[in-house]
Chain A
Amino acid sequence: MKKFFGFVIKEFRHILRDKRTMLILFGMPVIQVLLFGYAIRNEITDVKIAVLDYANDYMSRELTDKLLSSDYFILMDRLNDESEIESSFRSGRVKEALVIEPQFANRILREGKGHVQIIADASDPNMAQMLIAYTTAILTEYQMSLSHTKPAGVRVIPEVKMLYNPEMKSVYFFVPGIIVILLTLICALMTSITITREKELGTMEVLLVSPLKPVQIITGKVIPYVFLSLINTTTILIIARYVFGVPFAGSYALFYAEALLFIVTALSLGILISTVSRTQQVAMMASLAGLMLPMIMLSGFVFPVSSMPWPLQWLSNIVPAKWFLTIVKGIMLKGVGFDYIWKETLIIIGMTLFLLTLSAKKFKIRLD
């Protein structure tokens, strides 16, 4: 046991002495959370718009005010002529323009309908779509407020409620994803590199000839990463909580137990990669291309799995990150207990056992 302990200390030294490793280990979680949290947002705030108000009556002003008081939009240009719309877009000053027809209030009062035109900059299609959706929502709301004073025919009024993330903040969605990616990255990538490094340097030979057992060597190499991953997970949770105000609905104990399970999964992936790669470069490429990409693409972190074609949907089932992401979201955002995620947990346990057996076998073959 003392031998083993000395080995773990040696591993910690390797990690703490290597500035690059330290940067990856401790800089990356912080940078990723801040990046995803601040820069990459799906919701819109303070989008600059132009308004061309031909009517300029009390209703058109009411409508404009409503739009601008929403936090989503700020008025950049007040236009006087249709010809100015084009130049506003071209200069990049605005992303959306709202045109209100002449006699807006009169028409609504007399004919029961008024026209507005929404023009959006679709060079960024996703953004344009979101702008239209937000604007339309506000228009509908305004229309409803009018119908209170002037009742019309029968109408279905949907009342939408967004569960678990009422303000539709994308950071809620990113935080579980980042946890999954980081655990994969640190555990799988770093362990595969650290094991192949010993092979490359020739020290693995010496370790294998020593009284240390192979299983002690491998365990000793991965234990520091288990600790560091747990520290990192905690860092992410703290930033998410206190910088972005992401709530943590479920049980911390359950969360950490599941995280530990997934860490073992990722570690066994890393060990497996290290048994088949001879050099650190190969290990790194295999981890990045073979693990990170599928994990990011197919886990449901970036693209929803349900809208993928069926071969990809099927493929996503063998990506452990997909199941872990479901678990993390469940615990963090929905606050579910174990009875809701036992199936996912069981699947990950099965995958882990399979990977561990496989890498143990591979390791033996390599020795012979």
Chain B
Amino acid sequence: MNNGFVIQAEKLTKRFGDFTAVNAISFDVKRGEIFGFLGANGAGKTTAIRMLTGLLSPTSGQASVAGYDVYRQSEIIKKNIGYMSQRFSLYEDLTVYENIRFYGGIYGLSDKQIIEKSGRLIGKLGLEHARNTCISSLPLGWKQKLAFSVAILHDPAIVFLDEPTGGVDPITRRQFWNQIYEAAHNGVTVFVTTHYMDEAEYCDRVSIMVDGRIDALDTPAGLKRQFEAGAMNDVFIRLARSQPAEKS
């Protein structure tokens, strides 16, 4: 982390029996960067994220997250990352405040910190009136905002967003990306997977996984230049086409 990289992966590989899900991927993610992690379904994104978040042990290769080794220090890594999935992962039968307190609690925040942070967070999201409302009665957009805020409540060095905008309308998505920018501006590194190519354009740098390998990694502008494409969508399709054996 001292050298400004929050994630460093070197020939990171995961094999399940004969099947190589992730094939020697190497990449670095800088502090405060929004890093887009793209790939078709089955390209190995989920497996890669699971290795980086300490859920899976790599078969070979090296990786460090927030300066800690994924083999030996996965417990410390877990304390220093946030995670949000497509399903928002809030408890529908708990209130807004109870959700904040629960997630703050499992990341080891003190009662004082939780009270202070939840107050600020609820105020910022304009949810004062809904503080003691169950999540189930909140609109989708608010759930999403709250889920993201909860994921970075413990001030992680990096937050992993696994298709965070699935099934959400364009306006809400745009608002959500404003939230991501703000977090990145405050120094949180954002590692995001998505299927929306317009969102890929919002990222600082983008990697595209095909068949377990990272086939392209650059800024969106750089990738478009490299593949002589007008939009990220064309870059993605060109890469995916060149690999007929790709599993999806």
Contact = CB atoms under 8 A, between A and B. Distances in A.
B98 A6 contact: no
Given A3-B108, A206-B83, A209-B83, 19 more contacts: A6-B102, A7-B105, A7-B106, A10-B94, A17-B93, A18-B93, A201-B89, A201-B92, A202-B85, A202-B86, A203-B87, A205-B89, A206-B84, A206-B85, A208-B55, A209-B55, A210-B83, A211-B75, A368-B57
Nearest to A6: B105
B96 to A, nearest CB: 13
A202 B91 CA distance: 10
Contacts of A207: 106
Contacts of A13: 93-94, 98
Interface in A190-242: 201-203, 205-212
Contacts of B79: 211
Given A203-B91, A208-B55, A3 B85 contact: no
Interface string A269-312: 00000000000000000000000000000000000000000000
Interface string A169-207: 000000000000000000000000000000001110111
Given A18-B93, A211-B107, A367-B55, A10 B87 contact: no
Given A10-B91, A13-B93, A206-B85, A211 B53 contact: no
Contacts of B44: none
B78 A209 contact: yes
Contacts of A368: 56-57
B143 interface: no
B93 to A, nearest CB: 5
A14 interface: yes
A148 interface: no
Contacts of B75: 211
B101 interface: yes
Contacts of B107: 3, 210-211
Contact of A209 (B54, B88, B91, B102): B54
A17 to B, nearest CB: 5
Interface residues of B, number: 30
A150 interface: no
A270 to B, nearest CB: 20
Contacts of B92: 201
A206 B103 CA distance: 10
26 contacts: A3-B107, A3-B108, A6-B105, A10-B94, A14-B93, A201-B87, A201-B91, A201-B92, A202-B86, A203-B89, A203-B90, A205-B85, A206-B83, A206-B85, A207-B106, A209-B54, A209-B78, A209-B83, A210-B83, A210-B106, A210-B107, A211-B78, A211-B79, A212-B106, A367-B55, A367-B56
A6, A13, A206, A368, most chain B CB atoms within 10 A: A206
Nearest to B80: A211
A161 interface: no
A2 interface: yes
B81 interface: yes
B53 A6 contact: no
A210 B103 CA distance: 9
B137 to A, nearest CB: 13
A203 B98 CA distance: 15
B103 to A, nearest CB: 8
Contacts of B78: 209-211
